[in-house]
Structure 1
Amino acid sequence: MIEVTLLGTGSPIPDARRAGPSTLVRAGDQTFLIDCGRGVLQRAAAIGVGANQLSALLLTHLHSDHIADLGDVLITRWVSNFSPDMPPLPIIGPPGTAEVVENTLKAFRFDIGYRIAHHADLTAPPLVEVEEVTDGVVWGRDEVSIRVGPTDHRPVEPTIGFRIEHHGASVVLAGDTVPCAGLDQLAAGAGALVHTVIRQDLVDALPVQRIRDICDYHSTVEQAAETATRAGVGILILTHYVPTLQPGQEDQWRALAASHFDRQIELGDDLHRVEVHPGVCAKPAW
């Protein structure tokens, strides 16, 4: 079984009820954080997960809302891990990730210096192990495998999605993308697809062109559902709602997805959890 928790279901616009885009996936004894939007560690703490418990950080792309709390993840993991031989944090993302991580640590260089000067057991900066990828298998440990495939969020490029598999269960995390062959191939036959979505009918009604521009490079609810249908996935999990999903609107969003996908549809607030079992045997965690 793989457990998916929507840590943050928000967007670049701050929302009192939603953290920034981030998803937690637990497979076997391993815990993966996919993207790290604002407030991610507070949400993770609500389900008993700390930064020092992460097996790896997976980044779909380098838009600010998806990496806003990268520095918090790096520093908090460092100061909250008391093992004398703490391994580096694996960070897997598209080209450009290494530069972003390097500059984030540089921005925190004063903080890092203060802590090393004050604590005898902190003798080096946070350890990271960055891998930049666009396609292929990137992880294979203790019966958990992770494969990467290209997505389409241009002009943001390259962007990637992740497929996590464990004992026959599989989850694909699409990130921001329009429908594309890369995502179709990555998601083919998966137990679940976690997909960011927008309501184009609501966005098109807004008077600001810059906001309406987001329709150019995000999937609508209907398009995400069509992708799930083409790929033959068991569960469609919606997240990163634009505009924000308001209380009482859940049935509207679900109906839009259901018009193109006739299997299990999950959406909800931050901390919504879904269990994904091998094959098509999948059910909500509650």
Structure 2
Amino acid sequence: MRLIVLGAGSIVPTPYRFGSGHYVEAGEIKLLLDCGPGVLEKMRSLSLSPFKLTAVLLTHFHIDHVSDIFPLLKLRAFTPEGLPNRSPDELRIFGPRGLKRFLGTLIDNNEFFSYVKTLMRYESYTSLEEVEPWGVYEFGGVRLTSAPAKHDGGVAYRIDFGGVSLVYSGDTAYSEDLVKLAKGVDVLVHECSFPHERIVGQHVSEVELARIVAQVRPETVVVTHLYPIWEGEEHKLVSTLEQSYRCRVVVARNGTELTI
């Protein structure tokens, strides 16, 4: 399994991080975990083809996690040469409850974007799957498990393939469900939006993340969804996590890559 971080930041860009997006390759299966701003351009710059994506896993519907889903849906109606594709490969989109209403509101019932349905016929090459709490979905040797997150109805995902595993938190406050989902995982990709003294909203700081890491005991933790306040202070984050449990700590930037 291979992980490439496309977007390790927030909606506020920095030289190293912007938006949310993570690419996972598991054999022939190619997954996009969240689809925030700039993800398609980042894929292009890394020679990753959006035409070959098997599925997109959306954790929740905030702009910094979904804004490139609309260009992706339109793009799949074309060939890599930019010509109309008469038989696009199916793209599966997984997401929490409300996924169908979300896309319906922004495409089907929107006079400005409805052509993606009427002309591009996105429904003919897209399947939408609203995941259930603790739902399990299997395809291409991948076992995908979803669990509730604590962030505006969001979900977290676990990917098991070929004897290795990865959990992606999306945005969340501390969650016992996520700890349960991640127990025994090889790689934990978890948000850490703000330092403890500046925490805002339904997110975790380095203190909560250290608690999670100590409970989950992963081989590697990849820290993502970092706001600009962390720029230049990443060493404090690493120090706090290493004091809780001795594992490999990777503070992600756009382009960070791991082989699992």
TM-score by structure 1 length?
0.81
The number of residue pairs the alignment matches comes to 253
Identify the residue that residue 172 of structure 1 maps to in structure 2: 167
**Secondary structure of 2:226's aligned partner:** strand
Deviation at 1:83, TM superposition (A): 5.7
Identify the residue that residue 282 of structure 1 maps to in structure 2: none
Tell me how far apart the structure 2 counterparts of residues 164 and 111 of structure 1 sit (CA, whole Å).
30
Residues 144-223 of structure 1: pairs in structure 2 closer than 5 A? 144-153=142-151, 156-157=152-153, 159-201=154-196, 203=198, 214=200, 216-223=201-208
Identify the residue that residue 253 of structure 1 maps to in structure 2: 237
Tell me how far apart the structure 2 counterparts of residues 186 and 201 of structure 1 sit (CA, whole Å).
24
Tell me how far apart the structure 1 counterparts of residues 194 and 88 of structure 2 sit (CA, whole Å).
44
Tell me how far apart the structure 1 counterparts of residues 51 and 229 of structure 2 sit (CA, whole Å).
31
Going from structure 1 to structure 2, the CA distance change for 1:72 and 1:244 (only over 3 Å counts) comes to farther
Q: In the alignment, is residue 274 of structure 1 matched against residue 242 of structure 2?
A: no
Letter of the 1:105 partner, please give it: I
Identify the residue that residue 92 of structure 2 maps to in structure 1: 90
Q: Is the 8 A contact 1:19 1:43 kept in 2?
A: no
Q: Is the 8 A contact 1:32 1:56 kept in 2?
A: yes
Deviation at 1:10, TM superposition (A): 1.5
Identical-pair percentage: 25
Identify the residue that residue 51 of structure 2 maps to in structure 1: 52
Q: Is the 8 A contact 2:12 2:227 kept in 1?
A: no
Q: In the alignment, is residue 225 of structure 1 matched against residue 210 of structure 2?
A: yes
TM-score by structure 2 length?
0.89
Letter of the 2:88 partner, please give it: M
Deviations along 1:125-160, whole A, 9 cap, x unmatched? 45321111232344312211111111112xx12x11
For structure 1, the residue ranges without an aligned partner over 5 or more in a row are 117-121, 204-211, 277-286
**Secondary structure of 2:149's aligned partner:** strand
Q: Is the 8 A contact 1:235 1:264 kept in 2?
A: yes
Tell me how far apart the structure 1 counterparts of residues 205 and 180 of structure 2 sit (CA, whole Å).
19
**Secondary structure of 1:35's aligned partner:** strand
Tell me how far apart the structure 2 counterparts of residues 4 and 236 of structure 1 sit (CA, whole Å).
12
RMSD, aligned CA: 2.1
Identify the residue that residue 284 of structure 1 maps to in structure 2: none
